[in-house]
Each structure stands twice: as structure tokens, then as C-alpha cells.
Structure 1
Amino acid sequence: MTIERVEVPVPELWAGVDVGKERHHCVVINAQGERLLSRRVLNDETTLLKLIADVLEISQDVLWAVDLNHGGAALLIALLVNRNQPMTYLTGLAVHRASGTYRGEGKTDAKDAFVIADQARMRNDLGQLRPGDESAVDLRILTTRRADLVADRTRQINRLHAQLLEIFPVLERALDLTNQGPVVLLTGFQTPAAIRRAGAKQIETWLATRKVRNAATLAATGGDLAAFGSADRLAGFAGLAPAPRDSGRVSGNLRRPRRFNRTLLRAFYLSALASLRGCPASRTYYWRKRHEGKNHKQALLSLARRRVNVLWAMIRNGARYQATPVTTAA
């Protein structure tokens, strides 16, 4: 329904209808505000036609006023339109505010219908209610359907985020679940163990057969995060990974952990120290950290953290350490 501002001549009667789902209440008043008819009617075509006929018997010059322009009022509005009856519309909020200025504290359908009719009688700023064209009706149906689909999709994405947060927080932060590819990935692999067992190559093939775009990049991201999550926990247990100190909206604060295995930290520290003599890659990494401004102890701890990643990769792949990565011929 659309509301247009048009000049409406002053009628003889005003019929206010308090719209309900099953029943309406109609009150008809004259120019002096006297009630000429007050009736509670069923929301049924036969009953509504009888009400309209009875009101028109009193006078043919009637202005109908309703507090709802859709839903339960649709049948009444359609019947009034078919009989070329003028209508106006007051919002429920306007009726609620106006009812406080009338005598009595009680609230009934009859009182609300009288308030609607009386407000239509006194106010001249109300627009005339007219039916919308078929295109507007179709557009409203389509937009409502689209809003429902968007709400359903948002709920599904939120549930996936909540579930994945309990299983694999690192992957939850990395995946954009509004895209199809990450959702397809989760249908087959949800845990770090499952991703590590499959491997990046197998996941890439699995995604490619399902026609997922950028399958190689997505598979590599999942594999890297699975390895990183486990190596990060090992480093945290050894005291080589910073612990977050966040609260409320404050995030990103990292502090040295207070609870960790000091024996494991010592083992990694001594391992990093010993590697400076016999491992050129470790020595190069150590001096790179020194050139960045770190002192000897800080550079050794950075090297120990790096060796945690290497150690975890060796455990994960069941391979021995090789200073030069092995390349396979194409």
C-alpha cells in the first residue's frame, strides 16, 4: 500500500477500525464526535461486507481510518477499495500517544477504534491510503524473501564460526566463511589432525575436483595453519611464545608467559646455542636478529623459537633435518 497526500473534502462520518488478527472493532462518529455505531466484527469477507453496508446506510459520505495497512487489514482494505471508499492510515504509535489524551485509563479495542476515528476527524495532515500497483507488490515480496535468505545465511555463518572457534581457532580467524571455498573445505576437513593427515597436496586435489577457485592457495593456508597451531602450542609450553593479555576492547597485548616448562626452555636454548657452531642456517638467522637490534639472549630465544617450528615439521612429516631442502624433479 502507498500513501498519497491529496485534498480530501470533509466527510459527514468517520469510521475508525482497530485492526486485529481475527477480529476488528469499528466505531463510527459524526462531526460532533458522537458514536453512531460500535461493533466488533470477525475478519471474514461476509461479516466485513455486512459492516460496510451498515455504515453506508447511515451515510454514503464516510472516511475510513485504520491503524494497520497490511497483514490482518488486507481483506478490509481490499473490500473498501472495491467500493471506492476513501481511507486514511494512522500508525500504531500515533494512536498510542493520542489515546493518552482521552478520558479513562483503560485500554480496549472500542476505545482504540474511537481514538482512530476521532483523530481522523480532527487531523487534516493524514494522507489517503491507496493500493499499490502489481509491480510494487511483487517487489515487496521479492525483497522480503531476499531479507529472509540473507538472515538465514548470516545465522549459518555465525554458527560455523562459533563451532570452528571451539575446534580450530586459528583456522576460524583465517577463513572467510562468506566465500564458498572455505565452506567447501570445512565439509571435508575441520580439525588440525584431519588437515595434517591429508596434507596440502591431497586437500588441493580434493578441492579442485569440487571446482573450488584458488584450491592451491586455500589448501596451503589450511596446511600452514594446522602446522602453526601445533608448533605454537609447543612453543607456548616451552615459554618461547608470548601470552596474550587482553581485556574487553583492548587486544593485541603480548607478555612473556609466567607458567611454562623451564626444563624444555633450557633444552631449546642450549640447542640454539650449540647450533651456532655447526649450522650455517642457524648462524645466519642469529646474526640477522643481531643486526635488527636484538641482544645476544634475545637473538638466541628467537633462534630457539624458529627451531621449534623446524622440529615440529620434522615430527609431523616423519623426516630428518636437511640443511638444503630436497626438490623433486618435475
Structure 2
Amino acid sequence: MDLHKAHHTAVIINCWNERLGEIQIENKPSAFDELMKFVKKHTPKGLTPVYGLEDTGGNGRALAVHLVEKKQIVKEVNSALSYNERKSYATTQKSDSWDAFCIAKVLLARLDELPDANPQDFYWTIGQLVARRNAIVKHAATLKNQLHQQLSYHYPSYKKFFCDIDGKAALAFWEKYPAPYHLESVGVDKLAEILRKASHNTCSTRKAEEILERVKKDGETKRNYQPSRDFLIVNMVQDMKRSRELIKQTEEQLRQVLAETDFKLQSMDGINIVTVAELIAEIGDIRRFPNADKLARFAGIAPVRFSSGGKGKDKASGQGNRVLNAIFHNLAVQQIQVAKGDNKKQRNPVFYEYYQRKLAEGKTKKQALICIMRRLVTIIYSMMKNKTPYMAAALTERKAS
């Protein structure tokens, strides 16, 4: 089946790759029974139909859930396999019907290898919440860049006002005084009072004096259509505040859903509630991986052997789940971090020592980091499989042995 947002196209073939029928249905539950009736009509007595779906987590999820609930055999067909099937012909074709036929051929040829479709609402919901949070975070970052641009017109020295232009005190200031002329009748004491209230007494009278002095040195910035320009800043600030509230609400919803897992991934330094959600959303049911090696290959972390004529070498894989690969990469970088300053405190001494040992063995920084990622896969796999917390002491003992 070739799956799309509005409709799906199904092609039925037999064991000799002969087309038996074709149907296009709408992507809605009421049409799924129509598909099953059509398939049954083309299925000889004594045979069991097998459905091959290319996208069981996106556009085809509703259909996959429906078929699984109806006790049908449903297989996931990797899009890379169907793509290679299309490209294997001398004349390349591209249509819903042809795509569905290529998927059917892959299904028939690799029936014993393809995984069963197992769309679960729990993991899908977590994935949707993570996607929603990421979208809001991206929107907030865009707003911050836009605010930088607008403030540069109004307050030439704005970067020296606050450490972060999107801090609580900063946002309160921009919203109340979007342009310097709003400060003309504002004294130091009044401004200091407003800043202290917004920053929970972090900002002092000295900060108010500093801001007013810099505004005075900047000169006149008021121009035509100033009210409209002021509106832009106030509107952006309000949108940023709303985005932060939405992020908090989404993360709270994630906490409620994740409470059902009983995973203890946050016991490892560097993993917060968002990272936990991202890991679970991409990995899904950990039981579908018989061991950590399978998870590593799924994440594209396990090396791939390239050889010819008896000679070759292992190379980093550019395949696998790239989102999950990026999560493990970021987590690996955090584990080998060293604090700035004189104390040079290591975030995770065990991983840091392991990283330095790999460098001493002649590996590049990239290769050593991949080694960290691979070890993290083993640890996180065990933590999820057994629902146990991270224990640095146990890791140290294993390293010493």
C-alpha cells in the first residue's frame, strides 16, 4: 500500500508478482473496512492476505491500527527498500499505483524479514508531544531573533542592558518600554521598583541607573510610525511569554504520560524529562530489540564493514535513525564535559577517562565520541529493559575489571 495524507492506494499481487487488483480509499476508518472486503474478494479460499505498509507511524498509522485490531497480518516496509525496488527498473516510473506495486514486491520478496507493524498509542502520543514541544521551542527561537532585530532599531545599546534579552526582567522592560521615549518621565526609583518586581529582587537601583544612562547616550531613536514599531516589540514579548507557558504545559503533560513507564533514565546526569521523552519516542517498545547491538544498529551507531577482495575496514554508518543518533551524540558530549575555571571538574569521570583512553589508543575525537555513544546505548538499553537507575559505581567496577 502507498500511503498519503488524504488517500491510500492498494495493489494486490500473488506469489508470481501478478497484479490481482487495485483500489484507492480515503484515509478514514469508514473506508478501511471497504479495503478489507476488496482484499477478501481477491483472496483464494485457504490463503491469508498480508498487508505491507510503508508508513505505519505517520499517514498510515490509523490504517495500521485498524488492521491490527482486526487481527490482520501487517508488515512494515522500509521506504529505502521500496525506493531501491523502483530504481531497479531500466525505466523509472512514479505514481501511486506503481509505488504500491513496488511495495508489494518488496513485501513478497522479504516477507520473513520484515517486522510486524505494532503501532501503540502510548509511544505515538509521546512522539506527538515531543514534536509539539520542539515546534514551540523553534518558534520561540525565531521570536528571539526577531526581537533582537527590532530592539537594535530602538535601543542601540540594548545588549548591555541585561545578560539575556529574554530574561524575566528584560521581557518586562521591553513590554512596558518598547522604545526610549516611554522612559522620558520615568525616574530611577520607579524603574528600579519595576525591575526588582520582575526579577524577584535580583536587579538593583544601579541597574536602573545604568539603563537610563545608556539610553541617554544613545540619542533619539523615535521615527515615523513609532506606535506600530512599538506594537511589534510588545507583541513579540507577549508571544514569547505565551510560548514559554505552552512549553511548560507540554512538559507537564509529558511527565504525566511518562509516569506510566517507571523508567529511571533521569538518574543519569545529562538526561532530563525532555531527553527521556525523545529517547522513548524514537526507540518505542524496548522489547522489540533483543539486545543492545540491535538498538545500536537501529540508531546508526554500530560500524558497517566495507570490504572487497578480502581487504576492508569498519566505517561509521550514515544509516539508521538519525534523530536517535543525534540524541545519543548530544548525550555523549555532555558526559565528557569539563567545568570551566580552576577546578576543571569532570561531569562524568568514568566516561571522561574512557574517552581519554580511546584518544590515547590512537582514535580521533570523532571516533572516541562514537565509542562513548556505543557505551551509552548499552547502558540505556539495560536501564530501559530492566527499569533500573544509572549506577556509576557499577560502571567503575566493570571498567576496573
Equivalent residues of 2:86, 2:92 under 8 A apart: no
Q: Alpha carbons of 1:173 and 1:133: their partners in 2 closer, same or farther (altered >3 Å)?
A: same
* Cα drift, residue 153 of structure 1: 1.8
Match of 1:127 in 2: 115
Q: Alpha-carbon deviations, 1:207-243, whole Å to 9, x = none?
A: 3345644232542442243244359xxxxxxxxxxxx
Deviates more, 1:182-191 or 1:39-48: 39-48
Match of 1:55 in 2: 39
* Cα drift, residue 173 of structure 1: 5.4
Equivalent residues of 2:61, 2:119 under 8 A apart: no
Q: Give the AA of the match of 2:83.
A: H
Match of 1:280 in 2: none
Query: Quick check: 1:168 aligned with 2:152?
Result: no
Separation of aligned partners in 2, 1:181 and 1:91 = 50
Q: Alpha carbons of 1:133 and 1:25: their partners in 2 closer, same or farther (altered >3 Å)?
A: closer
Note the 1:21-100 alignment, pairs <5 A.
21-57=5-41, 58-59=43-44, 60-100=47-87
Separation of aligned partners in 2, 1:31 and 1:191 = 74
Equivalent residues of 1:63, 1:85 under 8 A apart: yes
Q: CA RMSD in A?
A: 2.7
Query: Quick check: 1:219 aligned with 2:208?
Result: yes
Equivalent residues of 1:196, 1:226 under 8 A apart: no
Q: Alpha-carbon deviations, 1:295-326, whole Å to 9, x = none?
A: xxxxxxxxxxxxxxxxxxxxxxxxxxxxxxxx
Note the 1:114-153 alignment, pairs <5 A.
114-123=101-110, 124-134=112-122, 136-153=123-140
Q: Alpha carbons of 1:182 and 1:113: their partners in 2 closer, same or farther (altered >3 Å)?
A: same
Counterpart among 196, 207, 212 of residue 195 in structure 2: 207
* Cα drift, residue 47 of structure 1: 2.9
Q: Give the AA of the match of 1:189.
A: Y
Match of 2:97 in 1: 110
Look up the SS of the partner of 1:215 in the other structure: coil
Q: How many residues align?
A: 214
Separation of aligned partners in 2, 1:30 and 1:69 = 23
Look up the SS of the partner of 1:115 in the other structure: helix
Separation of aligned partners in 2, 1:43 and 1:192 = 55
Q: Alpha carbons of 1:204 and 1:93: their partners in 2 closer, same or farther (altered >3 Å)?
A: farther
* Cα drift, residue 34 of structure 1: 1.3
Separation of aligned partners in 2, 1:173 and 1:86 = 64
Equivalent residues of 1:29, 1:37 under 8 A apart: yes
* TM-score of the pair, normalised by structure 2: 0.48
Match of 1:323 in 2: none
Q: Alpha carbons of 1:49 and 1:211: their partners in 2 closer, same or farther (altered >3 Å)?
A: same
Note the 1:277-296 alignment, pairs <5 A.
none
Look up the SS of the partner of 2:60 in the other structure: helix
Q: Give the AA of the match of 2:215.
A: A
Q: Alpha carbons of 1:222 and 1:229: their partners in 2 closer, same or farther (altered >3 Å)?
A: same
Separation of aligned partners in 2, 1:158 and 1:93 = 37
Separation of aligned partners in 1, 2:21 and 2:177 = 70
Unaligned runs of 5+ in 2: 221-401
Q: Give the AA of the match of 1:198.
A: V
Equivalent residues of 1:25, 1:110 under 8 A apart: yes
Equivalent residues of 1:28, 1:38 under 8 A apart: yes
Query: Quick check: 1:20 aligned with 2:4?
Result: yes
Q: Alpha carbons of 1:33 and 1:218: their partners in 2 closer, same or farther (altered >3 Å)?
A: farther
Q: Give the AA of the match of 1:226.
A: V
Q: Alpha carbons of 1:225 and 1:86: their partners in 2 closer, same or farther (altered >3 Å)?
A: farther
Q: Alpha carbons of 1:174 and 1:107: their partners in 2 closer, same or farther (altered >3 Å)?
A: same
Q: Alpha-carbon deviations, 1:69-115, whole Å to 9, x = none?
A: 23432331122011222222234454334312135333111100000
* Cα drift, residue 206 of structure 1: 2.4
Q: Matched residues, percent identical? A: 21
* Cα drift, residue 161 of structure 1: 1.0
Equivalent residues of 1:200, 1:222 under 8 A apart: no
Q: Give the AA of the match of 2:35.
A: L
Equivalent residues of 2:81, 2:106 under 8 A apart: no
* Cα drift, residue 204 of structure 1: 0.7
* Cα drift, residue 125 of structure 1: 4.0
Equivalent residues of 1:181, 1:213 under 8 A apart: no
Unaligned runs of 5+ in 1: 1-16, 232-330
